Homo-oligomer: A and B are copies of this chain.
Amino acid sequence: MSATERGRPRVVVVGGGFAGLQAVRKLRGAAVDVTLVDRQNFHLFQPLVYQVATGALSAAEVAAPLRAVFKRQANARVVLAEVNGFDLDQRQVVLDHLPNGAREERLDYDTLVVAGGSRYSYFGHDDWMARAPELKSLSGALDIRNRILTAFEAAEVEPDDERRRSWLTFVVVGGGPTGVEMAGQIAELARASLRRDFRQVDTRSARVLLVETADRILTGFPPSLSHKAERALEKLGVTPLVGHTVVNVGSDSVAIRSGSDEVEDVGAHTVIWAAGVAASPLAATLASAIGSEVDRAGRLTVTADLTLPGRPEVFAIGDMVRIAQSDGTILALPGVAPVAMQEGRYVARVIRNRLSGRATKEFKYVDKGNLATIGRSKAVADIKGVRLAGFPAWVTWLVVHLFYLIGFQNRLLVVTRWAFSFVTHGRGARIINETK
């Protein structure tokens, strides 16, 4: 796994998320050999993962196999492994947990692009994770799907009123787009999709609590849209608890602190985590390698061309970085797909320009707007100051998401399934998987 036979510069990209994927794609045809390293064999279309968590889509519909994505890109190869560290002086990536059982391999690079992404943080309470799975990875979403469906099954056979109420109470932590979308979907599941599935229990009596510490949900949007979204959620049957904080997660209850500092224990078996952000640990690994530090969210600070200070051959992009701009300010862009994709494309452009000896201007993020869906035909959109809500926003959301779904086959399947769901309120992937 060392030097390229053709003597071309070796580009190693760590992470097959939105940032890494775009970097590799935009190097297609360039005179470099690209190796993409990821611990998973698929690119995850993270904005739709919440739909897997409610059975609206199946796992394969939001996951594109990396090898299939790069099948026809001759200068790209994929290695399935974890990244354990970097030797910046030797210009090597240290791999671990290779699929053949090998534990340490070193991968030489001439240019390194690290795009490790981020995860949700449990505010220092990692022990809550087992009881409140995160809604970001595919495995998290499948875990949540099993729990939600099992909760309704449990309510169906539960003779005790109070315990039945706990089974029918769902707490979503975090009022960002993912939490909002998730809460809306659970309410729709209970009100529409599952309504006629059960005989003993009325699924419409399910409670969905959306807990957000800030004084409004969707803080990335203007306040007027946040309030519209809150009202739309309430109509769907969600109770938005803004100004509230989860202070403990038990096995069958959640302690929620209100703005007036009162703590209430809410009986709930199903808690879904979509709050806090922590950058990939690779950010800290890189920071310590260059004697720098990460911020409170674990993010590394890169220069205005997205490289490490003093290491122009090492790029770091996506959710795990902040950008030190040339005017001295530090820019923390939101952790959304468009930012990651633009950074990935920028890096590919810099690499191409360097091959031909050209300079590249600093990275500039072009904000194309902000979208969040709330439920069936409801959404909010803030596009260059134009604010939409309701059906027009939802159609915009639909078109944008389908456009960006990687792989034509997935797109067609997703449309087929969505068309059915829209007409029938059905959710075809409503299976509780045996997990081993």
Contact = CB atoms under 8 A, between A and B. Distances in A.
A71 B138 contact: no
Contacts of A99: 150, 153-154, 156-157
Given A100-B158, A197-B71, A42 B139 contact: no
Interface string A128-159: 00000000011100110000011001111110
A255 to B, nearest CB: 22
Contact of A430 (B65, B154, B167): B65
Given A40-B434, A153-B41, A158-B100, A413 B410 contact: no
Contacts of A58: 58-61
Nearest to A130: B436
Interface in A20-46: 40-42
A137 B153 CA distance: 21
Given A101-B154, A167-B100, A431 B67 contact: no
Contact of A429 (B60, B163, B197, B412): B60
Given A68-B197, A79-B157, A426-B409, A139 B436 contact: yes
Number of copies: 2
A196 to B, nearest CB: 5
A60 B431 contact: yes
A191 interface: no
B431 A42 contact: yes
B100 A157 contact: yes
Contacts of A71: 196-197
Interface residues of A, number: 65
A428 B416 contact: no
A420 interface: yes
A40 B60 CA distance: 21
Nearest to A62: B431
Contacts of A155: 100
Nearest to A160: B100
A67 to B, nearest CB: 4
Given A100-B157, A413-B417, 17 more contacts: A41-B432, A58-B58, A59-B431, A67-B198, A71-B196, A77-B199, A79-B156, A80-B153, A81-B157, A99-B156, A100-B155, A101-B154, A142-B433, A410-B428, A412-B420, A413-B413, A435-B436
- Per CB-CB distance, the 5 closest pairs between chain A and chain B, nearest first, are A60-B429, A100-B154, A67-B197, A99-B153, A139-B434
